[in-house]
Amino acid sequence: MTVDLGFVHRWVPGEAGSELPTLLLLHGTGGNESDLLSLGPMLLPGANVLSPRGNVSENGAPRYFRRLAEGVFDIEDLIARTHELADFVGAAARQYGFDAANVIAVGYSNGANIASSMMLLRPGAFAGGILLRPMVPLEPEAAVDLTGTPVYLGAGRMDPIVPVDNVSRLAELLEGYGASVTLTWQPAGHNLTREDVVSAKAWLSNVIGSE
């Protein structure tokens, strides 16, 4: 990566001539632009991968937006950072030559939360999303149109950070705006498991195959 687009990031081009969607990899708190790089080819071999590092630092731990406490978000900052990230994706699409309308977000924890915030504040930003260990980021003031947008939610039944009812509320919120939501529960905590990857890959394969 040699281009400054407002985020430290990694760009890994996929197979030449491929029409696969570009995967936008969004790490969790304390992660960086390299954390999820191995996840991209596991989920969709041959796809472009774009992986930015969060611009916010929480005691040295990168994040995509500020929080006031665990599970309590700074909504004003979240909104601003959401638009900042969306603008970065558009700039990266122009720089690297991928289709900005054919991007699937793959977010974990904090990354999943800003991805769902982008869906709610910038509808049409993603062709779909894989949100792993997500929670409701915010509720938009006005209705948005997510008709037909495929979204996979990967939650843990024993997650000490994300309450079960919060994940269910996110599914209801997205479905209420027209998204096609698949909510999958794993017998796990907040950390990702092999089963998360296998399940998300199968879901993505079905989504790509149905287009």
How far is Cα 118 from Cα 73, in angstroms, rounded to an integer? Answer: 15
Known catalytic residue at 83: no
CB 197 within 8 A of CB 127: no
Phi, psi of 200 (to 5 degrees): -65, -40
Closest to 9 (Cα-Cα) out of 59, 48, 58: 48
Catalytic residue among 109, 116, 117, 199: 109
Closest to 109 (Cα-Cα) out of 177, 174, 54: 54
Catalytic residue among 35, 159, 196, 199: 159
Looking only at the bridges linking them, the beta strands covering 103-108 and 56-58 are unpaired
Known catalytic residue at 27: no
Known catalytic residue at 109: yes
Residues belonging to the active site: 109, 159, 190
